[in-house]
Structure 1
C-alpha cells in the first residue's frame, strides 16, 4: 500500500511533469500571439483573439474526452478491472471520432458564420475566418493529442505525457517562425503551425501504446450509451474549464469593442493569452493530482484523497503569488513584447488591465483544483455546478454589470470578482459533499 511519504513523492512527480506539459500546451496560442503581433500587428492580434473561443471549444472537447475517459480508466485499474479499462478507452476513441467529424464539417461550411458571430468586422473578418477554418480542420489532431496525453499520464507515465506536450509546443514555435517570416504566410502560416503541433505530440506519445505494459488497448466494440454518459459526465468540467476561457474572452471582446474598439481588444488579447498560461499551470496542478485521487478513491483511502487536495492547494497558492508578482512587476515589458507597433494606447490599456485582471488567479486556481477533485471521485454534479458557475452563470453578469458601472476598470476586475464568488460556492459544495461514498465507482464499474 502507498504510504503518505510515497504519496507526496508521486504527487510531486505528477504535478511537475503535468505543469511543464500544460505550459507547453498553452504556448501553442502564446507563440501565435507573439508572432502574429510582430509580423502582422494589432489587426492580426484582434483576429486571433476573436477566434480563440473556437479553439477553446476544440481543446476543451479533447480534454473532456481525455479526462473523462482517463478518470474512469484509473478507477477501473485501481480495482484491477483490465477488461473494463480497455472498454473505456475504446469507447473514448469512438466518441472522439464523432466529435472530430462534427468539427471538421463545421470548419468547412460554417467558419465565415462563426467569424461574424464572434464579432469580426471588415478589417479583421478574413483573417478571423481563415484562422477558424484551419483550426477546425485540424481539430481531430488536437483532440487525439489530448486523449493520448490523459491516458498516458493516468497509465503511470507522466513524463512521457509531458514530453509529448513540450515537443508539440516546441514544433509550433519553430513552424510559426518558418511560416511567418521566411515563407511570409501571414495568419494562415500561424494557424497552420498550430495545427501541425499536436501531430508531433501524437507521434511522441503513441510509443507508450506499443509498450508491453501499456494499460489501455483499443478493442473493436459497439458504442455503449452508458459508458458514453459516464465519460462525458466526468469530462464536462474539463470542457467547461476550457470554455470558461473562451466565454470570458467572447464576453470581454464584445464589451471592450464598445469601450475601446479594436485596439482595446488587441490589448485584452495580450492579457488573455498570458491568462492561458496561468490557467495551464492551475490545470496542470489539478490534472497532476487527478490520477492519484482516482486511484485512492478506488482503494477507499479517504485520508489520502484529502491530503492530496491539501497539497495541491498549497502548491497552487505559492505558485499564484509568484505568478502575480511577475505580472505586476513585469507588466510593461511583457506588454511591449506583443506591441510591435509601439501603440501607447494599447500599452496603457494592457498594463493597467494585467495588474487588475490577475488579482483573481488565486480564486481561479482554487476553483479549477476543487472541480477536478470532485471529478476524480465520480462526483460529477458538484464538479459540473462549480465549472458552470465559473464559466457561464457568474462571470457573464458580473462582467456586464461592472463594465457598465466602471468601464474598462470594471471589465478587468470582473474576473477576480466572479472567481471569488464561485470560490465561496466551492467551499459550500465541498462541505456538503465531503461524505465518502460506501461504494466507489458506482457508475459503470
Structure 2
C-alpha cells in the first residue's frame, strides 16, 4: 500500500528518478553487451562475420517482441487495475501473462531447433551466409524459453515496485555475457557460435536473480490457480500490441535494410549497418528505459484518474529523452571515427570512412525517435490502444517501407540512411495533434 501511494501522491520527479536510474543502468549494461558482441565479431571474425551476425540479429527482436508484448501488456493492465482499486483481478493477469510467455518460449525453441535452415532463410540468409547465421542462432534457440520469459518478467517485476532487482539481474546477466564473449570468441575462437553462446548465458543468470523476488516473497502481485478470464487476456494482448508491433518491425527493418543495402552497395554496406544498428540499439534501449520507467506512474495515476500527475510524468520523461538524444547525436557528430573504428580493424580504413559518413546521416533521426518512443509508451500506459498501434505501424513499418521503396531510387545509398529520419519525423507530425486531443479528453474526465 505504501509503494502504491508513492506512485499516486509522492513527489513526481523523485518517484520517477527512483524508477529511472535502475532502469537506465539495466538498459545501459544491456546495450554495452550488444556493443561488445559486435566488437568481438568485427575484430575476431571480420566483415563476413558482421554480415552474418546482422542477418541473425532479428531473432532478438522476434523473441523480445513476444516477451515484451506480454510483459508490457500485463504490467499496464495490472497498474491500471491497481489505480482503479480492482486488486482482485491482478493475480489473474499476472498468472496468465507468465504462463503464456512460457508457452510461447517453448514453441519458439522447438521451431528454431527443428527447422534451423528455414528459420535462417526467413531472416534473409543468403547461401554464402547461411551456415554462419545457423551457427549464431543455434544457442539462442536453446534458451528461447528463458529469453522470452526474462523479457516479460523484467517489466512485471519493475511494475511490482522492485526496479532495483531488475537492474541487478540485468547487470549480472550482461556482465556474464561480456566475460564469456571474450572467452568464447577471442580465447577459444568459437566464432559466431561462441558469440551466441555467451549471449545465451545472460538471461539464464538474470532469471536466477529475479526469481528471488518470489522466493523471498518480495512480490505484491500474487499467482493464482483460478486465473483464466478471456476479457482480461484480451486486454493484456491489446495493451501490449503496440510494443509487439514495434519490436517485431525492428527485426523486419533490419531484414529490409540488409536486402536494400546488398542491392544498392554490397556486403560492406551491410557490415556498416551492423555497426550502426547496434549503436542505435544502445540509444533506443535508453529511450525505452526512459519510457518504461514512467509506465507504472502513468498507468496507476491514469487508473485513479489523476490526470495532472499523468501529464507531469509525461513531461518529465520527454525532457529526459530529448536531452539524451541530443547528447548522443553530438557525440556522433564530434567523434564519429573513434566510435565506428571501435568495431572495425584499423587497417580497413575504407570501411571506417564508409561508416562515418553513414552514421552522421542515420543518427539525425534520434531526436524524433526519442519523442516518439516516450509518446508511444504514454498512449500505451493510458490504454489508448488504437493510437499506440497506429504509431507502432507508422514508425516501425509503413513509412520505412515507403522510404526504402522511394529514396534509394533517387539518392542511392544516401536514401537508405535517410529512411529512418523520414519515418520518425513523419510519425511525430501525425502524432502530436492526437496527443493534444487525448490530453484535453483526459483532463475533462479528471477527478482533480
Contact 1:21 1:166 in 2 (8 A): yes
Residue of 354, 366, 371 corresponding to 2:376: 371
Contact 2:77 2:236 in 1 (8 A): yes
Match of 1:12 in 2: 17
CA distance in 1 between partners of 2:36 and 2:66 (Å) = 22
CA positional deviation for 1:340: 2.1
Q: Deviations over 1:118-168 (max 9, x none)?
A: 332233210112222332221111111112211111111111111111111
Partner SS, residue 270 of structure 1: helix
CA positional deviation for 1:395: 1.0
Match of 1:108 in 2: 113
Residue 332 of structure 2 corresponds to residue 327 of structure 1: yes
Contact 1:209 1:216 in 2 (8 A): no
Match of 1:343 in 2: 348
CA distance in 2 between partners of 1:76 and 1:117 (Å) = 39
Match of 1:94 in 2: 99
Match of 2:323 in 1: 318
CA distance in 1 between partners of 2:172 and 2:326 (Å) = 28
Match of 1:129 in 2: 134
**Cα pair distance change 1:26/1:236, threshold 3 Å:** farther
Residue 281 of structure 2 corresponds to residue 276 of structure 1: yes
Residue of 363, 386, 390 corresponding to 2:391: 386
Contact 2:102 2:149 in 1 (8 A): no
Match of 1:71 in 2: 76
**Which stretches of structure 1, 4 residues or longer, exceed 6 Å deviation after superposition?**
437-440
CA positional deviation for 1:227: 2.2
Partner SS, residue 345 of structure 2: coil
CA distance in 1 between partners of 2:35 and 2:220 (Å) = 34
Q: Deviations over 1:27-58 (max 9, x none)?
A: 34322211111111111111110111121110
Residue 311 of structure 2 corresponds to residue 306 of structure 1: yes
Residue of 44, 55, 58 corresponding to 2:60: 55
Match of 2:190 in 1: 185
Partner SS, residue 339 of structure 1: coil
Residue of 288, 296, 312 corresponding to 1:291: 296
CA distance in 2 between partners of 1:176 and 1:213 (Å) = 33
Q: Deviations over 1:349-370 (max 9, x none)?
A: 2111111101101111111111
CA positional deviation for 1:387: 0.8
Match of 2:265 in 1: 260
CA distance in 2 between partners of 1:154 and 1:338 (Å) = 36
Q: Specify every segment of 5 or more residues in structure 1 that has no aligned partner in the other structure, as ranges.
A: 441-445
Contact 1:135 1:195 in 2 (8 A): yes
CA positional deviation for 1:216: 1.7
Length-normalised TM-score, structure 2:
0.94
CA positional deviation for 1:341: 6.5
CA positional deviation for 1:410: 0.8
Deviation larger for 103-112 or 251-260: 103-112
CA distance in 2 between partners of 1:413 and 1:11 (Å) = 34
Length-normalised TM-score, structure 1:
0.94
Residue 218 of structure 2 corresponds to residue 229 of structure 1: no
CA positional deviation for 1:223: 4.0
Contact 2:399 2:422 in 1 (8 A): no
**Cα pair distance change 1:212/1:116, threshold 3 Å:** closer
CA distance in 2 between partners of 1:90 and 1:15 (Å) = 26
Match of 1:443 in 2: none
Match of 2:438 in 1: 433
Q: Specify every segment of 5 or more residues in structure 2 that has no aligned partner in the other structure, as ranges.
A: none
Contact 2:28 2:282 in 1 (8 A): yes
Match of 2:252 in 1: 247
Question: Would you say how many aligned residue pairs link Structure 1 and Structure 2?
Answer: 440
Contact 1:244 1:390 in 2 (8 A): no
CA RMSD of aligned residues (A): 1.9
CA distance in 2 between partners of 1:199 and 1:22 (Å) = 17
CA positional deviation for 1:439: 8.3
Contact 1:107 1:134 in 2 (8 A): no
